[in-house]
């Protein structure tokens, strides 16, 4: 990773207490990287010793392998925290191989790759993320599932957006109630041949969700490990917007094979999507690439015409800057919006075959599948994700 990318990733480290970045909270005092050493200095008030150690581990992981752990210095400034010893000005993070690293799991943001559980019944698990609401992440998740199904894959959908579950509506299953197996496993609801589970299936859709962290974590844990997923090539997880504690805890507890970051083209959405990429980088989840949704509008009377109503090329530029794949540029069509409102997914309707949105989703599904099934080129490590452009 280049120094510029390291510095960008450091600036969007999240405060585990608030879900906001240290940069947003005005905590970052100094970030400096030269040929020999990396320095990160921030205001530590209100951050516990365990959380502080977790942040140090995140910084070491971001810097590796450009800067070994012994070349990374983290300085903290604290005016009111009683747990800071007098005269102590900085700490040197322990190396990744240090035995004490496992103690940091208690914070919920500990070292990635430890105590992760595999989702039984799914060969590959893909997380679909956005840091900004309203970019169409759930619509992308649903139609990607049907595009993969059209290419012969068996796909499941997990709606992890507890506060705003939308899949029952998108899949025309409002009011459906999941059953259970004799072994007390939850049976997912079948929607047009796609098994899915959503918190929206268990509550009245007009009722507000006023649960807090531990209760929500328990629900998501059940959806991952107590649902009877069977024979899936892909399980697609539609994550809640943002990079809060719930998202981080679920990602670090689950063996996720890759992440997709969804954004619309405008700068304000792209800026937030960078936080999502930083989150996955910090917890060592491979980023399959970015998807530009609502890339342009295609009118019904001229399918070759493009109207860039949200700007042009924003996600493509971000993907190039951060050296990740641009997986697809998905346009807007009236039929896509209508299908979402009616619960008839666009990519499950053969009548749309060959249209711009159909082609974009089929390319997205093909690119996702190639990320996992294209052999690594000579000299590249196993699991290398080749740059793909739709």
What's the CA gap between 302 and 314, in Å, rounded? 24
- Considering only residues 206 and 142, tell me which one the structure prediction assigns the higher pLDDT: 142
Among the listed ranges 41-45, 99-103, 292-296, which one has the minimum average pLDDT value? 99-103
**Average per-residue pLDDT for the chain:** 79
CB contact set of 333 (below 8 Å; sequence gap of 6+): 297, 298, 300, 346, 355, 356, 357
Q: pLDDT tens, 71-91?
A: 888 888 876 544 433 333 334
> Structure pTM?
0.67
What proportion of the chain, given as a percentage, has pLDDT over 70? 78
What's the CA gap between 55 and 313, in Å, rounded? 33
Starting at the edge strand found earlier in the chain, the sheet holding 38-43 runs 28-33, 38-43, 72-77, 90-91
CATH class of the structural domain 122-373: alpha beta
Q: What integer is the mean pLDDT of 361-376?
A: 86
**pLDDT-based confidence at 236, cuts 50/70/90?**
very high
- pLDDT at residue 152, rounded to an integer: 95
**pLDDT-based confidence at 1, cuts 50/70/90?**
low
CATH class of the structural domain 3-107: alpha beta
Specify the DSSP class assigned to residue 186: B
- pLDDT at residue 386, rounded to an integer: 39
Q: Where are the domains of the chain?
A: 3-107, 122-373
**pLDDT-based confidence at 100, cuts 50/70/90?**
very low
For the chain, helix (H) and strand (E) counts, in that order, are 10, 12
Q: Does 65 sit behind a cis peptide bond, omega within 30 degrees of 0 on the bond before it?
A: yes
- pLDDT at residue 96, rounded to an integer: 43
């Amino acid at each position: 990773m280049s120094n510029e990318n390291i510095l960008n990733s450091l600036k969007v480290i999240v405060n585990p207490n608030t879900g906001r970045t240290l940069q947003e909270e005005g905590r970052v005092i100094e970030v400096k990287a030269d040929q020999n050493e990396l320095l990160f200095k921030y205001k530590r008030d209100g951050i516990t010793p365990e959380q502080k150690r977790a942040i140090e581990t995140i910084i070491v992981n971001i810097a590796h392998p450009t800067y070994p752990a012994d070349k990374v210095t983290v300085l903290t400034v604290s005016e009111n925290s009683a747990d800071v010893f007098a005269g102590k000005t900085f700490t040197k993070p322990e190396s990744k191989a240090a035995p004490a690293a496992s103690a940091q799991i208690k914070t919920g943001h500990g070292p990635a790759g430890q105590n992760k559980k595999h989702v039984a019944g799914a060969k590959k698990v893909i997380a679909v993320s956005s840091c900004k609401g309203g970019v169409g992440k759930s619509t992308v998740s649903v139609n990607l599932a049907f595009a993969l199904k059209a290419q012969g894959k068996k796909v499941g959908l997990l709606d992890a957006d507890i506060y705003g579950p939308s899949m029952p509506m998108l899949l025309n299953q409002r009011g459906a109630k999941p059953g259970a197996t004799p072994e007390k496993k939850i049976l997912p609801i079948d929607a047009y041949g796609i098994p899915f589970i959503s918190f929206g299936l268990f509550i009245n859709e007009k009722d507000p969700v006023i649960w807090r962290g531990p209760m929500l974590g328990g629900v998501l844990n059940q959806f991952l490990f107590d649902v009877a997923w069977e024979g899936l090539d892909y399980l697609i997880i539609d994550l809640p917007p943002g990079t809060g504690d719930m998202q981080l805890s679920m990602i670090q507890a689950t063996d996720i094979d890759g992440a997709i970051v969804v954004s619309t083209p405008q700068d304000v959405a792209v800026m937030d999507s960078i936080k999502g990429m930083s989150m996955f980088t910090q917890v060592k989840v491979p980023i399959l690439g970015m998807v530009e949704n609502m890339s342009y509008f295609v009118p019904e009377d001229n399918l070759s015409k493009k109207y860039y109503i949200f700007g042009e090329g924003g996600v493509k530029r971000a993907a190039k800057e951060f050296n990740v794949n641009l997986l697809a540029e998905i346009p807007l069509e009236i039929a896509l919006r209508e299908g979402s409102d009616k619960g008839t997914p666009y990519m499950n309707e053969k009548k749309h075959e060959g249209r711009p949105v159909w082609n974009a989703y089929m390319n997205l599904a093909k690119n996702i599948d190639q990320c996992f099934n294209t052999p690594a080129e000579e000299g590249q490590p196993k699991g290398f994700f080749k740059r793909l452009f739709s």
